[in-house]
Amino acid sequence: MSVSIKINGRCLSAEPGQTILEVARSHGIEIPTLCDYPGLPSHGSCRMCVVEIQGWPNTPTACTTPVADGIVVKTESEYLRSLRSDLLRMLLAEHPGACLFCPENQNCEECMITLRKAGVTTGCRSCPSDGACTLQDLVKQYGLNSVAYPVRYRALAVEKEDPFFDRDYNLCVLCGRCIRVCESLHFTHIPTYVKRGSQTRVGTSFGQSHIEAGCSFCGACVEACPTGALWDKTSKWDGKPDSEVQSTCPF
Ligand code: FES
């Protein structure tokens, strides 16, 4: 039996077991997300999708909270906007942000295309995902214009040894989409979280190369990455794709 809920004043019907995010999306209501990815179970790690529910003391994540009959949900408010902005600021304390905040950003975008080929991404246009990055989109959407916390650059070497992909985990936001897509949709466990606490990053077990770990280089992890951390070598500097085709061939 379906349940009735209210989102932003709209009365909607939902199926038991659906999450607030699923119901909102199916009715055209946008909630910002970063760790959510089609076909994957909810992760609840980025917390960008926090919402207010009348009578609840906290702000639960829409992607992990199942609907209940009669709940009244707000997906946009000044309070939620400031919470999401703060969450983004914390993410940016570990993510190079010059492509986001430099006052010369616009000039750079138009004139300094060659900068895109820098070996390590520390700023400006040297990120292969520049212009196609979910984090960049969110920062623009929330109008952030400076870094709020001390920045810690991870200074990890870009991994270029494997034949098809480059990996720059300085740009990783630990959303786990690459790990979960490999586990849940492809039933392999090549990428995983390594180390703990502030040292946590994505890697392979026992520091193996991806070839040694048995990776088939299907490209699903690259496609799932919301930033410029994972890149297909052949298209790394090609910019945004101008079209998409359906194909069964991963290469
Ligand atoms: Fe809900 Fe990341 S999308 S916590």
Q: Which two tokens stand for residue 159?
A: 């991994």
* CB of 61 shorter than 6 A to ligand 1: yes
Q: What is the mean pLDDT of residues 114-120?
A: 50
Query: Could you report the per-residue pLDDT of 182-225, keeping only the tens digit for each?
Result: 999 888 899 999 999 989 999 999 989 999 999 999 999 999 99
pLDDT of residue 98: 66
Main-chain phi, psi angles of 72, to 5 degrees: -115, 115
Query: Could you report the per-residue pLDDT of 78-99, keeping only the tens digit for each?
Result: 999 999 999 999 999 888 876 7
Q: Tell me if residue 149 falls in helix, strand or coil.
A: coil
pLDDT of residue 88: 94
Query: Could you report the per-residue pLDDT of 119-174, keeping only the tens digit for each?
Result: 455 555 668 888 889 999 999 999 998 888 888 888 899 999 888 999 999 999 99
Q: Which two tokens stand for residue 219?
A: 């490209």
CA of 35 to the centre of ligand 1 (A): 5
Query: Could you report the per-residue pLDDT of 3-40, keeping only the tens digit for each?
Result: 999 999 999 999 999 999 999 999 999 999 999 999 99
pLDDT of residue 131: 80
Asked if pLDDT for residue 250 goes beyond 70, the answer is no
* CB of 63 shorter than 6 A to ligand 1: yes
CA of 75 to the centre of ligand 1 (A): 13
Looking up tokens 């997906």 gives 75
CA of 190 to the centre of ligand 1 (A): 23
CA of 25 to the centre of ligand 1 (A): 14
Give the strand pairing for 52-53 and 72-74.
Answer: antiparallel
* CB of 138 shorter than 6 A to ligand 1: no
pLDDT of residue 50: 98
pLDDT of residue 137: 93
Contacts of residue 6, defined as CB under 8 A and 6 or more positions apart, other chains included, come to 12, 71, 72, 73
Measured from the Cα of 64, ligand 1's closest atom is 1
Looking up tokens 């500097």 gives 237
Q: Which two tokens stand for residue 118?
A: 């820098």
- How far are the Cα atoms of 46, 89, 123, 140 from residue 135, in angstroms, in the given order? 11, 11, 14, 9
pLDDT of residue 241: 76
Task: Report yes or no: 5 and 72 within 8 Å, Cβ to Cβ.
Answer: yes
* CB of 75 shorter than 6 A to ligand 1: no
CA of 36 to the centre of ligand 1 (A): 5
CA of 50 to the centre of ligand 1 (A): 8
CA of 175 to the centre of ligand 1 (A): 9
Task: Report yes or no: 73 and 9 within 8 Å, Cβ to Cβ.
Answer: no
Task: State the average pLDDT for the chain.
Answer: 88
Instruction: Name which residue leads in pLDDT, 248 or 200.
Output: 200
pLDDT of residue 238: 78
Q: Provide the phi-psi class of 148: left if phi over 0, else alpha when psi is between -120 and 50, else beta.
A: alpha
Q: Categorize the per-residue pLDDT at 118 as very low, low, confident or very high, splitting at 50, 70 and 90.
A: very low
Measured from the Cα of 49, ligand 1's closest atom is 1
Contacts of residue 66, defined as CB under 8 A and 6 or more positions apart, other chains included, come to 16, 17, 18, 19, 20
CA of 1 to the centre of ligand 1 (A): 27
Strand partners, 12: 5
Sign of the alpha-carbon torsion through 74, 79, 84, 85:
positive
Q: Tell me if residue 52 falls in helix, strand or coil.
A: strand
Q: Across the chain, where does the E strand assignment appear?
A: 3-7, 10-14, 52-53, 72-74, 165-167, 192-194, 201-203, 230-232
Task: Report yes or no: 165 and 233 within 8 Å, Cβ to Cβ.
Answer: yes
State which of 35, 175, 180 you would mutate to test the pocket of ligand 1, scoring each by most atoms of that ligand within 8 A of its C-beta. 35
Measured from the Cα of 33, ligand 1's closest atom is 3
* CB of 48 shorter than 6 A to ligand 1: yes
